[in-house]
Structure 1
Amino acid sequence: MTDCLFCRIVAGEIPATVVTETETTLAFRDIDPKAPTHVLVIPKEHHREIGDVEPQLAGEILATAHQVAKSEGIDASGYRLVFNTGEDGGQTVFHVHCHVLGGRGLSWPPG
């Protein structure tokens, strides 16, 4: 989709600080981090929200997110994975993305 920010990142039209990449996923640093580690994991193929994603791809997104946590050194101390879905869920870019947050204590409940 030419008007989708994350599709344009996948296409290389918009720069991003890539953390890791697989055949089906791309992980890059959030430009407005909310924690010392704040990485977004997206499917390379456009899907509007997590409910649109096939189970296998959802598993690949989660596996990439865990790999990010390991490579960032937050897997042992703990981290949070967040999928914002829909406007009321806080989704602002309508391309599935998983936030990997960590590197500090994270309060509950979230905002």
Structure 2
Amino acid sequence: MNAAPPFSADSDRVVFDRTELGAILTVYGRFVAAGEWRDYAMSFLRDAAVFSVFRRATEHPLYRIEKRPRLRNAQGIYAVIAMDGRILKRGHDLGQVLKVFDKKLIRAIT
């Protein structure tokens, strides 16, 4: 019997690949170590993969890191969105998009 892995890429949903997830979890780990973030959730939808970050599990997400392949030729496939819906950074390179958190981490530690 040939079973598919739990997060394999289907034609009907968008997922983060191993490299993308590694970059996101690196940022997440830094904020957990700083005591800022405590929980996360992932959603794999038909048009987007979403990594949501929470201060507490019972709250709304502080940030959403989204991958939307349909925006590949427009603003960029990746976006970081704040709790109030503001798009903080958007682009084609996940590493560059995640740099929006660098200033926030420095502020959290000081």
* TM-score, with structure 2 as normaliser: 0.29
Q: Which of the pair is proportionally richer in helix? A: 2
* TM-score, with structure 1 as normaliser: 0.29
Larger radius of gyration: 2
Structure possessing the higher relative contact order (Cα contacts under 8 Å, 6 or more residues apart): 1
